[in-house]
């Protein structure tokens, strides 16, 4: 299998089967670089956040530090608020300051998440369950279009991680535990976002991440260590997503924070030079503060680790303001890099090579072309595409002849749970702010909570009671819908059991006490009592789980699975998730209408002991999961 992968890669490398080889722009890029000063070259290699730019004195820092790229980090919000017009004005103002066309990057990992009222698609774990690469392609095109409409041109997506352990706070960013599916979906995403035609990117630049093994760390610790005893198995599990992205000519790869056998990926020259650079002609960027974290981890001077990272193949450095002991401004970072060159730790040839790699991609994006046309609007209706993706992502795990519910036979629907009217919990992390946020703020009438979706479908037929029990109810005229939801989280703040001291200084401001303690799900006492009362009257209970990962739902006699007559895994379905769930419950949508939709791409654990042992593609002895990959009931 792996020999076949390498052979395929060699074909891509030698015959350039990928739709665009960025090296066709080398002659022009080299001419541009020849005319640049060393400071200008270093400016192209520097990637600060907007927040760092403001911290250093305002947008004029873009000109002063000769910056070639800027990122909106997870918590960046324009001073006037996250509305589209404010992002457009900010992007315009940044471009005006630039002395060289800017790359403007954002984590549009499930839609253009930092803009108020944006359509938010299901996170990757749900798109995996939809098994619909054409839909992923359309989602990527709409995401690129929305990003460009907001003035940005670079998407830090797709994540092609192969999540192995559900304790990882980024499990939901992984499409599947089947590398062949990750490869297919990565390819579909990159093609849809970049829209390459005539050797030009006519959409947005993608950043395929995080190279390599981000989802394969021991115990799922984010930014942790991959203990790799068998290179071939490691590559079989974690590499195919990159092959899919290479074949679609992704223009950028982001290197992982994680380590392999103790060596941080940012300075893992062997992996970068053996499995990335020969098959990829874009440019390589480090992750946010990853070089700083690597220097702290290996206990070596930052300047030396920075030189190692660039000499290993990283072309652009994503900065952070989290380690003031290393540098306190963008200019100070640039001085460190300049010194590395002056001291011979990084050759001028390597600097030129890095800047040529970056400018080749900018030329392919048309950034230096005055007549460069904006991306045209993709076909179809964005919100309908989001709704279809949300519907196809739902997985029916249990159905004791309850779904679909005929509202004509009902008098009342009881809704229980604190996320029944909570679009923020449907979206999860990476929305408006890094960690995401509960509630319905920054949504428009295209977005629907579960309550809104149910009102839309049956509000004119039945009485809807929220977080209470009606005076009377029978199994003839009533159903109950219980919503269980993980609190929104992103990255290591969603880890279970991560006590890495590096992260203790950072807390989720929207959930000061939130730390996922466990993956075992129970109803809270009030809800459980109400469910027992309803069950005593024979009222069917439908449970919907909003989560970024499979969770333990079958622990004990009062487990949610045991007490439910029907159980839907909804993942993080996004802004149309409420309507999708209502459609699936009341029959406007039927599970598994098209072959593979609505089926698991991650096996469902029967216990906490199994959460790191169920990687589906892994052959050999595995515990018996509650539900295996490919499972999903039709209705
Ligand atoms: C984060 C993430 C990465 C993201 C980057 C910029 O720490 O690891 O996925 O693209 O920083 O926000």
Instruction: For ligand 1, atom 3, name the residue with the nearest CA.
Output: 287
From 196, 22, 206, 192, select the one nearest 106 (Cα to Cα): 206
Regarding the beta carbon of 287 and ligand 1, being less than 6 Å apart is answered: yes
pLDDT in tens, 369-417: 999 999 999 999 999 999 999 999 999 999 999 999 999 999 999 999 9
Regarding the beta carbon of 209 and ligand 1, being less than 6 Å apart is answered: yes
Mean pLDDT of 140-145: 98
pLDDT in tens, 508-560: 777 756 667 789 999 999 999 999 999 999 999 999 999 999 999 999 999 99
Beta carbons within 10 angstroms of residue 477's beta carbon: 15
**Bridge partner residues of 155 (DSSP):** 106, 206
**Bridge partner residues of 396 (DSSP):** 568
For residue 573, how far is the Cα from the chain centroid?
13
Give me the pLDDT at residue 58, please. 98
Which is more confident, 15 or 242?
242
From 172, 232, 202, select the one nearest 20 (Cα to Cα): 202
Regarding the beta carbon of 292 and ligand 1, being less than 6 Å apart is answered: no
> What is the Cβ-side half-sphere exposure of residue 114, based on CA atoms within 13 angstroms?
29
47 within 8 A of 285, measured Cβ to Cβ: yes
295 within 8 A of 322, measured Cβ to Cβ: no
From 126, 125, 110, 128, select the one nearest 184 (Cα to Cα): 128
From 342, 302, 357, 308, select the one nearest 324 (Cα to Cα): 302
Ligand 1: centre distance to CA 35 (Å) = 32
Cis-peptide into 213, omega within 30 deg: no
Model confidence at 620, in pLDDT bands (50, 70, 90)? Answer: confident
CA–CA dist 26, 32 (Å, integer) = 10
Regarding the beta carbon of 74 and ligand 1, being less than 6 Å apart is answered: yes
Ligand 1: centre distance to CA 133 (Å) = 24
Mean pLDDT of 228-233: 95
323 within 8 A of 289, measured Cβ to Cβ: yes
Residue 146 pLDDT more than 60? yes
Per-position DSSP letters for 76-109, written without gaps between them: ---TT-S-HHHHHHHHHHHHHH-SSPPEEEE--B
Instruction: Identify the burial level of 130 via C-beta atoms within 10 angstroms of its C-beta, where 0-12 means exposed, 13-18 middle and 19 or more buried.
Output: buried
Sign of the dihedral defined by the CA atoms of residues 129, 133, 138, 143, in that order: positive
Give me the pLDDT at residue 3, please. 61
Model confidence at 365, in pLDDT bands (50, 70, 90)? Answer: very high
DSSP code of residue 322: S
Give me the pLDDT at residue 292, please. 97
Model confidence at 498, in pLDDT bands (50, 70, 90)? Answer: confident
pLDDT in tens, 7-63: 555 555 545 567 899 999 999 999 999 999 999 999 999 999 999 999 999 999 999
Instruction: For ligand 1, atom 8, name the residue with the nearest CA.
Output: 287
550-481-527 Cα angle (round to 5): 85
Atom of ligand 1 nearest to the CA of 223: 8
Give me the pLDDT at residue 134, please. 97
**Bridge partner residues of 209 (DSSP):** 159, 254
Give me the pLDDT at residue 533, please. 97
CA–CA dist 395, 122 (Å, integer) = 13
pTM confidence score: 0.96
Model confidence at 502, in pLDDT bands (50, 70, 90)? Answer: low
Model confidence at 505, in pLDDT bands (50, 70, 90)? Answer: low
> What is the Cβ-side half-sphere exposure of residue 431, based on CA atoms within 13 angstroms?
31
Using most ligand atoms within 8 A of CB, pick from 154, 257, 288 the residue to mutate for ligand 1.
Answer: 288
Round the average pLDDT of the chain to a whole number and report it: 95
From 571, 576, 522, 569, select the one nearest 547 (Cα to Cα): 571
Give me the pLDDT at residue 526, please. 97
Atom of ligand 1 nearest to the CA of 257: 8
Using most ligand atoms within 8 A of CB, pick from 107, 206, 213 the residue to mutate for ligand 1.
Answer: 107
Q: Is 170 helix (H, G, I), strand (E, B) or coil?
A: coil
Give me the pLDDT at residue 497, please. 86
Ligand 1: centre distance to CA 206 (Å) = 13
From 105, 190, 114, 202, select the one nearest 154 (Cα to Cα): 105
Regarding the beta carbon of 107 and ligand 1, being less than 6 Å apart is answered: yes
**Bridge partner residues of 69 (DSSP):** 103
Atom of ligand 1 nearest to the CA of 210: 9
Give me the pLDDT at residue 10, please. 56
Residue 609 pLDDT more than 70? yes
Give me the pLDDT at residue 351, please. 98
Give me the pLDDT at residue 467, please. 98
Mean pLDDT of 192-204: 97
pLDDT in tens, 273-330: 999 999 999 999 999 999 999 999 999 999 999 999 999 999 999 999 999 999 999 9
Percent of the chain whose predicted confidence (pLDDT) is above 70: 95
Instruction: For ligand 1, atom 1, name the residue with the nearest CA.
Output: 288
Ligand 1: centre distance to CA 33 (Å) = 28
CA–CA dist 574, 390 (Å, integer) = 7
Beta carbons within 10 angstroms of residue 418's beta carbon: 14
- When mean pLDDT is compared across 88-97, 336-345, 512-521, the lowest value belongs to 512-521
Residue 338 pLDDT more than 80? yes
Give me the pLDDT at residue 8, please. 56
User: In the numeric block, which tokens belong to residue 280?
Assistant: 């990829």
Ligand 1: centre distance to CA 50 (Å) = 14
Regarding the beta carbon of 156 and ligand 1, being less than 6 Å apart is answered: yes
């Amino acid at each position: 299998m792996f020999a076949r992968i390498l052979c395929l890669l060699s074909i891509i490398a030698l015959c350039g089967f990928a739709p665009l080889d960025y090296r066709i722009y080398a002659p022009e890029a080299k001419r541009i670089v020849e005319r640049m000063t060393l400071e200008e070259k270093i400016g192209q290699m520097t990637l600060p956040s907007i927040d760092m730019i403001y911290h250093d004195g305002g947008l004029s820092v873009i000109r002063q530090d000769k910056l070639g790229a800027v990122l909106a980090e997870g918590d960046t919000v324009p001073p006037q608020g996250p509305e589209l017009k404010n992002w457009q004005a900010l992007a315009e103002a940044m471009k005006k300051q630039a002395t060289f066309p800017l790359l403007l990057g954002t984590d549009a990992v499930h839609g253009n998440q930092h803009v108020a009222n944006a359509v938010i698609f299901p996170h990757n774990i749900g798109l995996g369950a939809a098994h619909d690469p054409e839909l992923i392609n359309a989602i990527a095109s709409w995401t690129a279009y929305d990003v460009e409409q907001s003035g940005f041109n670079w998407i830090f997506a797709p994540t092609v991680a192969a999540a192995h352990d559900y304790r990882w706070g980024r499990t939901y960013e992984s499409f599947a535990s089947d590398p062949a599916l990750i490869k297919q979906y990565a390819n579909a995403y990159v093609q849809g976002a970049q829209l390459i035609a005539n050797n030009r990117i006519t959409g947005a630049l993608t950043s395929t991440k995080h190279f390599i093994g981000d989802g394969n760390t021991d115990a799922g610790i984010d930014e942790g260590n991959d203990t790799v005893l068998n290179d071939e198995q490691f590559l079989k599990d974690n590499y195919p997503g990159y092959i899919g992205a290479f074949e679609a000519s992704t223009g950028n790869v982001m290197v992982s924070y994680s380590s392999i056998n103790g060596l941080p990926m940012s300075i893992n020259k062997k992996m970068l030079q053996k499995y990335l650079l020969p098959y990829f002609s874009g440019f390589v960027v480090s992750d946010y503060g990853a070089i700083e974290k690597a220097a702290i981890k290996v206990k070596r001077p930052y300047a030396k680790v920075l030189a190692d990272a660039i000499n290993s193949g990283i072309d652009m450095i994503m900065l952070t303001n989290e380690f003031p002991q290393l540098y306190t401004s963008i200019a100070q970072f640039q001085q460190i890099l300049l010194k590395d060159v002056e001291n011979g730790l990084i050759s001028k040839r390597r600097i030129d090579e890095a800047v040529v790699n970056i400018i080749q991609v900018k030329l392919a994006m048309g950034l230096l072309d005055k007549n460069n046309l904006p991306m045209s609007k993709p076909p179809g209706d964005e919100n309908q595409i989001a709704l279809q993706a949300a519907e196809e992502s739902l997985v029916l795990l249990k159905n004791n002849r309850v779904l679909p519910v005929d509202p004509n036979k009902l008098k009342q629907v009881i809704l229980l749970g604190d996320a029944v009217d909570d679009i923020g919990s449907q979206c999860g992390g990476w929305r408006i702010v890094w960690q995401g946020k509960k509630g319905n703020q920054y949504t428009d009438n295209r977005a629907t909570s579960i309550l809104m979706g149910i009102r839309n479908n049956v509000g004119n037929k039945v009485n809807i009671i929220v977080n209470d029990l009606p005076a009377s109810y029978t199994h003839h005229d009533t159903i109950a819908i219980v919503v269980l939801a993980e609190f929104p989280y992103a990255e290591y703040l969603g880890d279970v059991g991560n006590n890495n001291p590096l992260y203790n200084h950072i807390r989720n401001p929207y959930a000061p006490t939130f730390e996922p303690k466990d993956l075992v799900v129970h109803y809270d006492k009030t809800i459980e009592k109400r469910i027992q009362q309803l069950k005593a009257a024979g009222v069917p209970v439908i449970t919907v789980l909003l989560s970024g990962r499979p969770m333990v739902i079958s622990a004990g006699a009062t487990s949610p699975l045991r007490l439910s007559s029907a159980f839907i895994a909804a993942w993080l379905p996004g802004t149309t998730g409420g309507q999708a769930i209502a459609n699936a419950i009341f029959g406007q949508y039927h599970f598994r209408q098209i072959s593979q939709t609505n089926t698991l791409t991650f096996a469902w654990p029967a216990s906490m002991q199994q959460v790191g042992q169920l990687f589906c593609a892994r052959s050999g002895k595995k515990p018996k999961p509650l539900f295996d990959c490919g499972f999903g009931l039709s209705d």
